[in-house]
Structure 1
Amino acid sequence: MNHPLARALRGAGIDAVDVAARLGVDPKTVQRWMTGRQPYPRHREALVALTGWSPHDLWPELARPADPATLADEVRIVYPHRSAVPADAWAGLLSRAEHEVAILAYSALFLAENVAVTDLLREKARAGVRVRIALGDPAGKHVATRGDEERIGAGMSARIRTALVGFGPLAEEPGAALGLHDTVLYNSICRADDELLVTSHIYGRPGAHAPVLHLKGSRVDGMVATYLASFERVWSVTKPAIV
């Protein structure tokens, strides 16, 4: 018998009968273990203690803990469209932020009109959380194009101006910043530290009809990092909003 367990037991001077007596099992069961059958977890722990070998030395086929460097970002939930996201999910996400909140959108009007969200953002800013909101420039060419694509024309700019009124009080908080951008909006992003709700926009359809991903970051080069880098690039070209 050349199975690692058999070698480990021989090295420890323990035979199958000894193991059976100590673990309260039949010697034939131990013989099966020594030829490759895997014991139950409680018996594996006992065999590790008896032999001094590690679990993976005794049973190389055991699944190994994932290396943090190889972990993929977690896709927690995929919503078919933004209107399917529970209303309290946005505030719930933002309430978990301890260091950073970032919102990228054209209007994010559904958030700006939610008093619970705007009050929460002010509280976060006062508590030292960095809060940044990047909305579309109402006079921007890309905002105008998006309005045409959605067949609402100047309605897109009007939505942004309304959102600026809702988010306006945030500008009074030292830890918050409200900016305007004129970039193509491929995705809207709502960030709370390493958690994101990402709305993946679709040509000609309003944001409420677009799919939403709830992501949790776990590595420096994963999906979440890609979206966060995108936010930073947009933020670098924003101008302060005047409200």
Structure 2
Amino acid sequence: MPNERLRTVMADAGWTYASLAERVDVDPKSVERWVNLGRTPRRGTAVRAAEILGEDLHALWPAFRRARAARASSPELVALYGQRAGAPMSAFVDMLAQARERIDVLVYAALFLHEMYPRLNDLLRERAAEGCVIRIAVGDAGSDNVRARGQEEKFGHGIESRCQLALMHYRPLIGVPGIDIRTHGTTLYNSLYRADDHVLVNAHVWGVTAYRAPVWHLRRSGEGGMFDTYAESFDAVWSTATPVRHER
């Protein structure tokens, strides 16, 4: 898959395949393959390129973070991040961008998605147009469980307003073929971000805000594993959620 993050960084700064290749001391065709084919360069080369571009190495090539972060006792574990704040935005965006069949998002608000990646709705429209089935479940601002989460995290009514704002972000997608938006009032034990056979699980810790809680990246490797457990959990919540309609 193309490395869209690298393509954007290069375009914004005016780098061409040839000019970056000259600075990094590689063949221009290598840079072209990094961008168009999503190839990952050797670590030393990648470090030089990231420094020249002024970009985080792991944001450009998440594989290096995964290689360092994953200490898998399970074949499904791809990476483990101590805090969501420590996971690069590209870990979320690249996974969603590569989805071909399904995207599922289960959150209360997760405003960071739209704040850090303003093209999120465009990306979801593009994936839906290519045949992806997309299901987004955000928190019902009026539910007891959402209010309780605000008290537990000492965030008060702020979490209710964040749920409302999240729904405002997603409202332009209502009615788009292939995209379904719902609200739910369940206890949110984990926020889930699924794309085909990959899922990012943001575990929730009592009294701790989501960005300080850990995230693990799972890849489905067979039936009945951890991935399937979270996928089944999403389906259970989805069955209780309320569809969001166009405002009259």
TM-score > 0.5, shorter chain as reference: yes
Structure 1 position 189 matched with structure 2 position 189:
no
Query: CA offset at residue 170 of structure 1?
Result: 1.5
Q: Deviations over 1:49-91 (max 9, x none)?
A: xxxxxxxxxxxxxxxxxxxxxxx54211100000001012111
Query: CA offset at residue 168 of structure 1?
Result: 1.4
1:226 matched residue in structure 2: 229
Q: CA RMSD in A?
A: 1.4
Contact 1:83 1:209 in 2 (8 A): yes
Q: Deviations over 1:145-182 (max 9, x none)?
A: 00100111110010011111111112131100000011
- SS class of match (2:169): helix
Structure 1 position 172 matched with structure 2 position 175:
yes
- SS class of match (2:156): coil
- Of structures 1 and 2, the one scoring higher in RCO (CA 8 A, sep 6+) is 1
Amino acid paired to 1:190: Y
- SS class of match (1:120): helix
Amino acid paired to 1:233: A
Amino acid paired to 1:95: A
TM-score by length of 2: 0.67
Mapped to 1, the partners of 2:143 and 2:79 lie a distance apart of 33
Contact 1:181 1:237 in 2 (8 A): yes
Contact 1:81 1:212 in 2 (8 A): yes
- SS class of match (1:160): helix
1:202 matched residue in structure 2: 205
Query: CA offset at residue 93 of structure 1?
Result: 0.6
Query: CA offset at residue 121 of structure 1?
Result: 0.8
Q: Which moved more, 1:132-141 or 1:110-119?
A: 110-119
Mapped to 2, the partners of 1:169 and 1:124 lie a distance apart of 15
2:22 matched residue in structure 1: none
Mapped to 2, the partners of 1:161 and 1:175 lie a distance apart of 23
Contact 1:196 1:216 in 2 (8 A): yes
Unaligned regions of 5+ residues in structure 1, if any? 1-71
Query: CA offset at residue 131 of structure 1?
Result: 0.3
Amino acid paired to 2:110: A
Unaligned regions of 5+ residues in structure 2, if any? 1-73
Percent identity over the alignment is 41
2:83 matched residue in structure 1: 81
- SS class of match (2:232): helix
Q: Deviations over 1:173-198 (max 9, x none)?
A: 11000000110000000000010000
Mapped to 1, the partners of 2:169 and 2:134 lie a distance apart of 15
Mapped to 1, the partners of 2:219 and 2:180 lie a distance apart of 24
Amino acid paired to 1:147: G
Amino acid paired to 2:93: A
2:128 matched residue in structure 1: 125
- Paired residue for 2:101, among 99, 102, 107? 99
Contact 1:73 1:222 in 2 (8 A): no
Amino acid paired to 2:188: L
Amino acid paired to 2:201: V
How many pairs are equivalent? 173
* Superposition misfits of 4+ residues, deviation over 6 angstroms: none
Larger Rg: 1
Amino acid paired to 1:216: R
